[in-house]
Amino acid sequence: MKIVLPWLLSILLGAQCAWAGTQQEEALADPVRSALARAVTDRSPPTPPFANTAARLQYLAWLGEMSARLKKNPHLSDHQTRIEFLGTAWYEAKRAGLDPALLLGLIQVESGFRKYAVSVAGAQGFMQVMPFWSRLVGDGDATRLLQMQTNLRYGCSILRMYIDMEQGDLFLALGRYNGSRGKPEYPRAVMAAVKRWEYRVQ
């Protein structure tokens, strides 16, 4: 009888449950490739910059609210892990010029907030990033895609690139992210999930 290690079991379960998206490897113009490479290889820590105390308090209010909403998710039930995830997600979303609600909605659809989710197509982690991206614009080490900050940084940078490529059309950009450009199911699923993570400034 074979023994399945807990971390391997979580990967296998993630493979069964993750949205089976397949980002397509496509030819990128050199400036686009270089910009994306710079974005994903920046090693700066996810420390949010705040212009003033009010901005910091607003962030802390958002963090507390999102933590409460995520508390029942079995994959982020630990308080410290949840806070670390949300802080990094907020930082990477803002860094890429994305709404954190969009990022959390996409993660909900892609992986259900499973760090070690792997789709049948091989997409990995919270944002289901395809391994070819690590070769195309990264250091070639696809195993790093299961690290939280690396996965979120790749995913946010790729989504930002697709939004720019589609001239701000979020519907087409989301479809391209999932490898189903032009089909409505995936963008609709993400936008429906986004509503759960919208935050009103207090």
pLDDT (tens place) for every residue of the chain, 202 residues total: 434 443 343 433 433 444 545 666 776 667 777 877 777 777 666 777 788 999 999 999 999 999 999 999 999 999 999 999 999 999 999 999 999 999 999 999 999 999 999 988 899 999 999 999 988 888 888 898 999 999 999 999 999 999 999 999 999 999 999 988 889 999 999 999 999 999 987 6
Please spell the DSSP secondary structure of 48-87, one letter per residue.
---SSHHHHHHHHHHHHHHHHHHTT-GGG-SHHHHHHHHH
Q: Is the CB of residue 156 less than 8 Å from the CB of residue 128?
A: no
> For residue 72, what are its two tokens?
């029942």
Domain boundaries, the chain: 6-42+52-197
pLDDT of residue 49: 79
What pLDDT, on the 0 to 100 scale, is given for residue 44?
Answer: 66
Give the integer Cα–Cα distance in Å for 175 and 125.
19
Q: Which amino acid is at 172?
A: L
Sequence letter at residue 98: L
Q: Does domain 6-42+52-197 have CATH number 1.10.10?
A: no
Whether 138 contacts 40, CB under 8 Å: yes
* Whether the predicted model's global pTM rises above the 0.75 cut: yes
- Residue type for 47, please? T
String of DSSP letters for 113-154: T-TT-B-TT--BTTTTB-THHHHHTS-S-GGGGGSHHHHHHH
Q: Is 117 exposed, middle or buried (0-12, 13-18, 19+ CB in 10 A)?
A: buried
